[in-house]
Amino acid sequence: MTLKQKKYFPDNSPYILRDLSWLEFNDRVMQEGLNSQLPLGERLRFLAIVSSNLDEYFKVRVASAKQRVASASFCSSFEEISDQDLLKKISLRSHQLVQEQTEGILACMKELSEYGINLLRYQELSPKDKKYLRTIFETNILPVLTPMAVEDLSPSPLLPSLQLHVALWLRIPVTTENHFNKSASSPPPVSQKISPETENEISFSGEDEKSKIPGAISRKGAKTGGKTKKKNPENSNENLGKNKKTSSKKGAALLEVSQTSLELNPNEFSEAQKHDGPSDSSYMEKLAVIPVPTHLSRLVMLSEEGNAANYVFLEEIIAENADLLFPGCEVLASAIFRITRDEDVIIRDQEMEDMTKTIRDAVLSRKRRNAVRLEISAKTDPRIERKLLEMLSLTDADVYTNSALLDATIFFELARFPALKKACYEDWPAVHAYDLMETDNIMETVATRDVMLFHPYEKFDPVIELLQTAAEDPDVLAIKQTLYRTSGDSSIVKALKKAATNGKEVVVLVELKARFDEAQNVEWALQLENAGCHVIYGVVGLKTHAKAMLIVRRQHGRIQRYVHLSTGNYNEKTAKLYSDIGLMTAHPEITADVAAFFNLLTGYSEVVGWNRLTVEPFRLKRRFLELIDREIDFSSPEHPGRIRMKLNSLEDTDMINKLYEASQHGVKIDINVRGICCLRPGIPGLSENIHVRSIIDRYLEHARIFEFLNGGHPELYLSSADWMTRNLERRLEIIFPVLSPVIRHRLSNMLDIYFADNVKAQILYPDGHWEKVFSEAGEEPIRAQQMIYEECVANSTASAHPPLRYIPLRHKEKD
């Protein structure tokens, strides 16, 4: 197969650039959104995910590169490229992705009409519809808007990250009736009156102390004393709708000031701002901004016609009727824009005295950090774009123009519309876990055999049930658990609080530094503490990413431990969307290791050795390297070694180099990676025995599975860790072995299915590009996620009527 000529990666490097590899992952997501063979509702979701992914990418990865450029520090990773060059490559590829996404969005918007959902653009509306929407704007929208004179307020008002804004280029008359000043210093010592209709709608304020120009408007529209005139009835609310784009003469009646002498400094305004007005008065041009309220629905229903409904975007309604917010001014141009800010805040817990306060401060600091991206509507007036770039200290490369709509995450909401129910995938209801079909008591079952849970195909309920049962069980002495990310209305947190109320010893590690969930986790920590739980925040200098639960119970006169380990979070919501694997076990060596793990977190313990788990940073990496080295040792031309792995990201150079070494010794390596992959497969003499593929489908692939042939005695491991340097060196993670032959066989079969997928899989090529896998003529289509779900359903159905179990009667023992 001929490799594509379009290359985004340097040819002289054995590694693919991490940040560009991530963009290729987002491209794979987008290909699902562009796939016309998918139901429309699913395409909408994928296009929304693309936007959500890009938001996080810019506020973290792009922001990090910009920080390094600003501090003149060179990127210290394997990426032998300057950050300036990296940002250029990111900009080039990101603009290509946005253009492709725009075309997909426009196609989906057009197709929505087939389901009775018409997304109308304001310019397409009839005069009658525009008049109706103007009335809606006056009554329901205008009262909650906050227009801001961004050039005149000091300090400059905060424009929130990732919120839609309407930008307006205004023509402002410079007359005795109206003047907008350059700063927000002390108010002018002259009288002014603002019409009641505009009170609390104007946020221009203050004046330049040197010029002392009267007529400035206070932010709240308050009087500043002096003469006033009677209200002009022509400007009442019922007449506002008649003034389409209010000109200076008609609008000036709303702003009346005392007729004191006025001395204007002709040098005060730049030539770009000062012009001769149409009515022998001069005017200036300035930028104003209106944040689009987030508590209002972005989709405003215009009308219903039978089974069809017409919608108009809220931001367009605001932009087209904004003249009502600026009486006396003329709106020359408008645009919709959105800012992404740097949210890559590093929390250094070594220096913390009050952890929760530090977290709160870090979360708040994100709101005022530098902008890293400007998204703006197509055909924007150059004056608006230039002024925004100047205000935000951005360059042309940071501007992303969109002719469809900004922030496609609105498609998440659209995909849930009842009219699109038939345009979505058929539901796959989660089934009862195969390993728990024959039991009514989870603890009794786990005490006798290991139990595997494969979410979201199998229900997450047993995890909650296990914890709830432990909370009520009088024989349970202690519960210990890690929480990294959990859901908003968490049953897990409720059960932990209940356990503490019932007198159990409850210890919870809440990782406050889980990026973008910090505020939520602080709230959970406070709730748990108030309920009587012992809450800890991890180990200094490390982020705790491990997923573990330990239950200590007294039974039959001895202590019995139960453990749940997982590749994913304790979050019942994402357990319905993410593909993860959980393991319940009472194996004495594993439970002893988990107990030691919690002692490590809560005290000054030094680990003297692990029985079955691998936990600490560096040991984690060392363990994986040892497993690969063992595979190299066992490999021969007659019996080559084999490694199969499924993970989210592969970036660490030590691991990549070791895989290259294994490939050169003939070890066959198959990798299924969801996102980042910095390894270049298929290069002769380097990685010719390595094959990499990725699956993007209805569920987010999140499980980490590692299988080693081990000279004919296969070993299989699950882990909370990806092969990224941060996971292997700066986090507390857990690698845990699958000891049950039955579960090991089941997981191995699942890997067979993943690597046989010829419907949703894509293959990585040496130059970094991905190509879709197609089934050969006569070959049976294999869609991994669908096949796995069908197997779970079949297992559940078969287990619903298990064969009779013959249990001999026993004589009751005499007292």
Contact 134/271 with Cβ under 8 angstroms?
no
Contact 376/403 with Cβ under 8 angstroms?
no
What are the backbone dihedrals phi and psi of residue 751, each rounded to the nearest 5 degrees, phi first?
-60, -40
Strand order in the sheet with 299-305: 117-120, 308-313, 299-305
Contacts 24+ apart (CB under 8 A), 33-37: 33/101, 33/104, 33/108, 34/100, 34/103, 34/104, 34/107
Which CA distances in Å does 395 have to 50, 208, 385, 386, 713? 23, 29, 10, 9, 58
CA 117, 123, 127, 131 torsion-angle sign? positive
Q: What is the DSSP letter of 81?
A: S
**Sole residue written with tokens 């990499």:** 692
Selecting among 165, 455, 545, 702, the annotated active-site residue is: 545
Query: What is the end-to-end Cα distance of the chain in Å, rounded?
Result: 80
3-class DSSP state for residue 192? strand
Strands (E) across 53-163 are located at 117-120
Nearest residue to 736 via CA among 463, 549, 460, 535: 549
Give helix 83-111 / helix 18-34 axis angle, nearest 10°: 10
3-state SS track over 532-561: CCEEECCCCCCEECCCEEEEEEEECCEEEE
Partner residues linked to 562 by β-bridges: 551
* Amino acid making up residue 479: I
Residue 473, token pair as written in the block: 């069980």
* Amino acid making up residue 459: K
Q: What is the DSSP letter of 375?
A: E
Q: What is the dihedral of CA 516, 520, 525, 528, to 10 degrees?
A: -150
Looking at 345-417, list the stretches that DSSP marks H as alpha helix, in order from N- to C-terminal side: 355-365, 382-392, 410-415
Strands (E) across 733-814 are located at 735-737, 761-764, 770-772
455 counts as catalytic: no
- Write the burial class of residue 802 (CB in 10 Å: 0-12 exposed, 13-18 middle, 19+ buried): exposed
Give helix 83-111 / helix 63-71 axis angle, nearest 10°: 160
* Amino acid making up residue 471: A
Omega within 30 of 0 (cis) for the link into 155: yes
Question: In angstroms, what is the C-alpha Rg of the chain?
Answer: 31
Contact 181/172 with Cβ under 8 angstroms?
no
What are the backbone dihedrals phi and psi of residue 93, each rounded to the nearest 5 degrees, phi first?
-70, -40
Residue 453, token pair as written in the block: 């849970």
| Distance (Å, whole) CA 434 – CA 327 | 68
Which CA distances in Å does 132 have to 138, 244, 328, 347? 10, 13, 23, 51
Nearest residue to 109 via CA among 378, 386, 389, 310: 310
Residue 103, token pair as written in the block: 């075309």
User: Helix %, strand %, coil % for the chain, to 5?
Assistant: 35, 20, 40
| Distance (Å, whole) CA 365 – CA 483 | 24
Residues 6+ apart with CB under 8 A from 285: 169, 170, 171, 172, 272, 273, 275, 332, 383
| Distance (Å, whole) CA 665 – CA 637 | 9
Active site residues: 545
